Amino acid sequence: MASVPLLAALGLMYALRACLWPHLSLTGLVAAAVLLHSALLDGWWLRWRVMRYALPRPSPFKGKAFFVLIDAAGCPCHGRRVYNTCVRPMLAEAGILQTTYAVTKGPRQTMDAARELSFDEFSVILVVGGDSTVHHFLTGLAARSDMSAECGPSQAIRHFFRQHPLAVVPCGPCRLSRLLWGTSDPFAVTQRLLHAQSQGVDALEVKDGPRDVYWDHGLFRWGELATVDACAAQWPSFLPRWLRCAPGLLYACLVTVQASGRLSLQVWDQEPGPSGPSLFGCRLGRHWAPHSLLAAHPETALDLKGWRTMTGDFRTVCGYSSPLQEGWMDVVVVRAGARTAEMAWVLLLLRWGWRWHSPRVHVFRARGLGVEDWGDPG
């Protein structure tokens, strides 16, 4: 993050030394470059980064209280630097001023923070850290005394995250961030998190059972139940509809690389009919479409039964929703043998409300979408 202003400072100092100050020593050049780098990093460079990822549309979390957990286990300054240079300015830019933060320096402190803090005072939980930080936070959360023993930790934590959505800003390499958003840039991730739906911020599920894993960190699994607000990512309204849909359509057709892990896709269908909800055990490449609105944790989805199963290799799964659908969304499941032109035709018809099926492409209308990692296929 600091490489661009540092190179700019060094280049400017070198030009000044060559043109104006030939008598400037190398020590003075380095000292001047460091001072200029600090000014650039704390000044216009960070402001430009914040304004670049700030969207004109107000955040649904404006005015709500945030609890920020900063992991400083690896490098004491890295987590705080991400918070001070990225998270705090972007929270202020989105109108979120009620923020309480805690700094932890190890797994034990992270679990203690989740077990002892009173979360009734906060609306959203924001974790600045990596995969292990989220795992330790969930471990401490499951050990809380207020978690109901009657329904088990799975239902208790699921109910907890409906009231307190959990967001994760990567602090260094983060596989969860790359899986969900395709990037580990904290600015891009924070922007997408702040402008998601109010109940759709990286919701986590926990379920008991031998097959539920959380990146080889115990009996936890990761579920993506909502994504980014699509309205802010669309092109200006004065452009024709086909031109505004073209970039997202092209991206969804080209960026579909088949993954090596096995995932299960849960689609909760609430329309009357004999088909019912569906469960897919499949290989997925891109389970998040750039222009999608996915509903988060439908209440009735927990009571639905009668799952169907589809087996085989799948190329991609996309979700699309428009304001005219009033909460419904279309889920497109594409098998590995489908052609790009066939997939593009299906997605193009969906933009105008037409659902076209084929033996290799399936379209379902649903209320919610969840994706979980089941590890490598056996």
Say what the pTM is.
0.46
Q: What is the pLDDT of residue 280?
A: 37
Residue type, 73: A
Average pLDDT of the chain, as a whole number = 59
Sheet holding 308-310, edge to edge: 223-224, 368-373, 262-268, 278-283, 308-310
CA distance linking residue 230 with residue 209, whole number of Å:
35
Q: By mean pLDDT, which of 62-71, 136-145, 259-268 is the weakest? A: 259-268
CA distance linking residue 58 with residue 54, whole number of Å:
9
CA distance linking residue 192 with residue 288, whole number of Å:
13
Rg (CA), the chain: 23
Q: By mean pLDDT, which of 44-48, 69-73, 80-84 is the weakest? A: 44-48
Question: In the chain, how long is the greatest CA-to-CA distance?
Answer: 85
- Higher-pLDDT residue of 241 and 362 is 362
Q: What is the pLDDT of residue 36?
A: 60
Copy the structure tokens of residue 113: 């923070």
- Residue 333 makes CB contacts below 8 A (sequence gap 6+) with 265, 280, 282, 310, 314, 317, 361, 362, 363, 364
CA distance linking residue 345 with residue 288, whole number of Å:
19
Q: Taking Cα atoms as reference points, which of 67, 185, 189 lies closest to residue 116?
A: 67
Share of the chain above pLDDT 90, in %: 0
Share of the chain above pLDDT 70, in %: 33
Q: Is the pLDDT of residue 143 over 60?
A: yes
Q: Is the pLDDT of residue 19 over 70?
A: no
Q: What is the pLDDT of residue 1?
A: 45
Q: What is the pLDDT of residue 231?
A: 30
Is the CA virtual torsion 339, 343, 346, 348 positive or negative? Answer: negative
CATH class of residue range 58-224: alpha beta
Q: What is the pLDDT of residue 246?
A: 57
Q: What is the pLDDT of residue 42?
A: 52
**Residues linked to residue 170 through DSSP beta bridges, in sequence order:** 129
CA distance linking residue 44 with residue 50, whole number of Å:
10
Confidence of residue 374 (pLDDT cuts 50, 70, 90): very low
Average of pLDDT values for 31-58? 58
Measure the N-to-C terminal CA separation of the chain; round to a whole number of Å.
40
Q: By mean pLDDT, which of 156-170, 237-251, 295-309, 319-333 is the weakest? A: 295-309
Label residue 64 exposed, middle or buried (CB < 10 Å: 0-12, 13-18, 19+): middle
Helix (H, G, I), strand (E, B) or coil at 105: coil
Copy the structure tokens of residue 80: 């705080």
Q: What is the pLDDT of residue 276?
A: 34
Cβ atoms of 249 and 289 within 8 Å: the answer is: no
Q: What is the pLDDT of residue 153?
A: 54
Copy the structure tokens of residue 1: 């993050």
**Residues linked to residue 370 through DSSP beta bridges, in sequence order:** 266
pLDDT tens string 259-305: 333 344 455 444 433 333 333 333 233 333 222 223 332 332 333 33
Question: Hey, where are the domains in the chain?
Answer: 3-42, 58-224, 231-373
Copy the structure tokens of residue 124: 């959203």
- Higher-pLDDT residue of 136 and 375 is 136
Average of pLDDT values for 337-355? 74
pLDDT tens string 84-97: 777 888 787 777 77
Q: What is the pLDDT of residue 139?
A: 76
Compute φ and ψ for 246, nearest 5 degrees.
-60, -45
